[in-house]
Amino acid sequence: MGIIRALLCIFLPPLAVADRGCGSIIIVLFFTCLAWVPGVIAAFLILNKEEC
C-alpha cells in the first residue's frame, strides 16, 4: 500500500477501497456512516488483506 492509498484511507475510506468491489465499498461506507474511525480501520484492514 502506497502513501496515497493510506491518505485516502484516512480522509475518504470508501474511495480507497473502490477497486476491491462493491461489497467492500458498502461495508466501509456503513462503518464510515456509523463513525469515522471504524471506517478508516475497515479500509485499512481490507487493503492489507492478502489476495488468495
pTM listed for this prediction: 0.83
Contact 13, 28 (CB under 8 A): yes
The pLDDT, as a whole number, for residue 2 is 81
CA Rg value for the chain: 10
Distance between CA atoms of residues 37 and 6, nearest Å: 14
Residue 49 carries which DSSP code? S
User: If you search the block for the grid coordinates 461506507, which residue do you land on?
Assistant: 29
pLDDT in tens, 1-52: 688 888 989 999 999 999 888 998 999 999 999 999 999 999 999 988 865 4
